[in-house]
Amino acid sequence: DAKTTQPPSMDCAEGRAANLPCNHSTISGNEYVYWYRQIHSQGPQYIIHGLKNNETNEMASLIITEDRKSSTLILPHATLRDTAVYYCIVASNTGKLIFGQGTTLQVKP
Amino acid sequence: GAGVSQSPSNKVTEKGKDVELRCDPISGHTALYWYRQSLGQGLEFLIYFQGNSAPDKSGLPSDRFSAERTGGSVSTLTIQRTQQEDSAVYLCASSSRRSRATEAFFGQGTRLTVV
């Protein structure tokens, strides 16, 4: 399974967009990019996933570079409740999800 | 229920005892995962069941750990002769394969404390 690299922590002002980067330079052609988040003391929560095209849902947008070696998760208007650890995962075709250390996002008032 | 259910939510056991942790996945989900999370750490993959395929046990830390999934539904994670380093939150997740997408839904976990 391809590995991902994320910054350990980021800050964001409440109401502003949070842009969380992820590098996955060894991603294979059939592997998806997934984003999950874990709010303190809760189980991880699925956010969004993509293969090649940019994706948007009610929670976030996912921008994948044309070479697929990196991606950015965008929370358009961050709130205090978005404070969490965000995990970028590249899923193999077996579907096994391997979590790294993620990025701790702190949204500040 | 609509989500992944784990029981018990908390378990305190004495060192050397065996424990069983249960996971009820979302109905119809063919994939089931077990992870553990020690205090302040990330999620450590333990085992992965996918349909009728042989489970991927590559994450089990020792032969004291085992898991089974009966009838493609409920799963039990068993830890024999528990040690203090086994103390962690054990998380279960399930997913339904749609093409190759793997959106997993997590339970709230079982907090295991070995004293």
| pLDDT, tens digit, 9 for 90 and up, residues B71-98 | 879 999 999 999 999 999 999 999 886 5
Place of tokens 């249960």: B22
Q: Residue B23 has which token pair?
A: 């996971």
Rg of chain B over CA atoms, in angstroms? 14
Q: Burial letters for B93-115: b for 16+ Cβ neighbours within 10 Å, e otherwise? A: bbbbeeeeebbbbbbbbbbbebe
pLDDT attached to residue B91: 97
Mutation target vs B (from A45, A94, A97, A101; most B CBs, 10 A cutoff): A97
CA dist A101 and B83 (Å) reads 25
What is the mean pLDDT of the segment spanning B91-113?
84
Selection from A66, A95, A68 nearest residue A1 by Cα: A95
Which residues share a beta bridge with B34?
B47, B92
Minimal Cβ distance to A32: which of B43, B91, B100:
B100
Tokens 């069941």 map to which residue? B49
At residue B98, the pLDDT reads 54
Phi, psi (rounded to 5 degrees) for B32: -140, 135
Asked whether residue B51 carries a pLDDT value surpassing 90, the answer given is no
Which is nearest to A85 in space by CA: A41, A34, A17, A39?
A: A39
Q: What is the mean pLDDT of each run of 10 residues along chain A (109 residues)?
A: 88 97 93 93 91 93 96 97 96 78 95
pLDDT value at B101 more than 70: no
For residue A75, give how far its alpha carbon lies from the nearest alpha carbon of chain B (Å).
Answer: 19
The count of C-alpha atoms lying within 13 angstroms of the C-alpha of B104, restricted to the half-sphere facing its C-beta, is 28
Please tell me the predicted confidence (pLDDT) of residue A57.
94
Distance CA B99, CA B79 (A): 34
- A53-62 long-range contacts, CB within 8 A, separation 24+: A60/A35, A62/A33, A62/A35
Closest CA to B46 of B22, B74, B77: B77
Interface of A with B (CB under 8 A): 30, 32, 34, 36, 38, 42-46, 49, 85, 87, 91, 93-102
Which helix (H) or strand (E) element contains residue B89? strand B88-95
The answer to whether A37 and A88 are in contact (CB under 8 A) is no
Highest mean pLDDT among A84-93, B9-18, B26-35, B48-57: B9-18
What average pLDDT does the segment B57-80 reach?
Answer: 94
Q: How confident is the model at residue B37 (pLDDT cuts 50, 70, 90)?
A: very high
- pLDDT tops 60 at residue B99: no
pLDDT of residue B71: 81
